[in-house]
Amino acid sequence: MTAAEPNLVPADGVVPARHWHRLDDGRIQCDVCPRECKLNDGQRGLCFVRARAGEQMVLTTWGRSSGYCVDPIEKKPLNHFLPGTPVLSFGTAGCNLTCKFCQNWDISKSREIDTLADAADPETIARAAQQIGCR
């Protein structure tokens, strides 16, 4: 249960995760959301982001994005936050909800790695936001 070091991310984008624990029956339980997914080796949680690989939980989407967009801040649910400024939005595949009306189901529940084609490590995202004037 160690944290991934940002400079040690493998090319496949899979890094060790935090916030999980081993159960008495041999499964491991994710402690990130209230769903508390209990996984055997090779299984993914409902979010598709966290998975069990051997004896640990891993993140399968770290450093990859499903898309980027610059929007006016008013389009986001951020009432009175930096009015009149642009905001850089980005996302990864995965979601722990199962909304029947989801407009992004092809991204949020994607099992295809091609959905996560763009590089998105934290430093690159921050640099891009600064370069295009997003605060």
Residue 82 sits in the same domain as residue 55 = no
Query: Quick check: is 118 in a domain?
Result: yes
pLDDT digits (tens, 9 = 90+) for 34-54: 999 999 999 999 998 899 999
Quote the longest CA-to-CA distance of the chain: 53
Q: Is residue 99 part of a domain?
A: yes
Copy the structure tokens of residue 118: 């763009």
Contact between 128 and 65 (Cβ < 8 Å): no
Indicate the number of domains in the chain: 2
Q: Please write the tens of the pLDDT for every residue from 65-107.
A: 777 889 888 888 877 888 889 988 877 778 888 888 888 777 7
The strand ranges marked E within the chain are: 15-16, 20-22, 28-30, 38-39, 50-53, 56-59, 64-65, 67-72, 86-91, 118-119
- pTM of the entire structure? 0.68
